[in-house]
Amino acid sequence: MKSSGLAVLLTLGSLFSFAQAPKTAAKTKPAAKSSATPKTLLWEISGNGMAKPSYLFGTMHILCEADAVISENLKKIIQSSDFICFELDMDNMDEMMGFMKYVRMSDNQQLKDLLTEAEFARVEKYFSENKLMLPFSMLTHLKPYFVSSLISERLMDCPKKKSMEELIMTEGRKYNKEIKGIETVAYQAGLFDSIPYKKQAKDLLAYIDSIDTYKKTTLKLAEVYKKQDLAQMDSLIVKSDPGMEEFMDILLYNRNVNWSHDIFNISQDGRQTVLFAVGAGHLAGDKGVLALLRKKGYKLKPLPN
């Protein structure tokens, strides 16, 4: 599968963790909070009954190719791990290629049914001027948040993009590492069924209407990621638009709780060393995976990256 396809799939559950930030971007969190989290994306998980350590790495699903780099330390961990676990099992092509059946709106609904005629015309105009990998006639049948994720990939100022997951998987293939997934495509796509399609359509319209602002936010997020500043990344999430706050549990926080349980089980009760590579936005903050694992009694050690 092309890297763009991988990135879009992995963006399903995390796009709107960040996309609503511009309206309140002027606010800041206390300086003490920012300095409390070491600037690294790579963490060792140990203790709490684990016979072997596992590792947690924060990815960004869409990066300019020049910025997508694997550190020497991460390469060593990939080589020494028993297997690699992403948000999705990207080595399962049946799972990956079947994602289209999950991203269609139910009951044959279409985008034009969710917007006024004038609003739909604005969306149609955008896609006539900005061609994506799928024709507009097909996009109108898909869940609007998925369409937004397709747009987000275009906002990076570079001709070629890469996902960190793709690079990690390529490095893992050198050592025949097995790939697993914490979630399924069906589950991630199903998250959007919990959010009214009409709201998704209105958010898609707002996304398009303010595309220049969202582009700046996307580029800012990429810079924060390159600095490995998880505290600032968490700040972007916390400042999400009030309209999305009621859905943050669905899109982000409940999944973090699930993952904090799953990590021990996936590592065979701590008997195997696993590299868990998930979106960096899931790691930091009081409701992030790092904090949740600490509360369970695990030791989280920041590693040079």
Is residue 25 over pLDDT 70? no
Give the per-residue pLDDT at 94: 78
Q: Where are the beta strands (DSSP E) in the chain?
A: 42-46, 54-59, 63-64, 83-88, 161-162, 178-183, 274-279, 299-303
Neighbours of 156 (CB within 10 A): 19
Scan for tokens 């028993």, then name that residue.
Answer: 82
Stretch 153-179: mean pLDDT: 91
95-152 tens-digit pLDDT: 767 777 888 998 899 999 999 999 999 999 999 999 888 899 999 999 998 898 888 8
101-111 tens-digit pLDDT: 888 998 899 99
Give the per-residue pLDDT at 9: 45
Q: What DSSP string runs through 86-112?
A: EEE-TT-HHHHHTTHHHHBPGGG--GG
According to DSSP, the β-strands at 42-46 and 83-88 are unpaired
Average model confidence (pLDDT) across the chain: 84
Number of continuous H segments (helices) and E segments (strands) in the chain? 16, 8
Q: Which residue has the higher pLDDT, 27 or 254?
A: 254
Give the per-residue pLDDT at 101: 80
Give the per-residue pLDDT at 238: 58
Residues near 265 by Cβ (< 8 Å), separated by ≥ 6? none
Is residue 29 over pLDDT 50? no
Residues near 54 by Cβ (< 8 Å), separated by ≥ 6? 44, 45, 46, 81, 263, 267, 270, 272, 273, 274, 275, 276
Residues 118 and 80 sit within 8 Å (Cβ to Cβ): no
Is residue 244 over pLDDT 70? no
Give the per-residue pLDDT at 185: 85
* CA atoms of 245 and 176, how far apart (whole Å): 41
Q: Which residue has the higher pLDDT, 29 or 266?
A: 266
Stretch 181-199: mean pLDDT: 88
Exposed, middle or buried, 174 (CB in 10 Å: 0-12/13-18/19+)? Answer: exposed
Is residue 271 over pLDDT 70? yes
* CA atoms of 298 and 290, how far apart (whole Å): 9
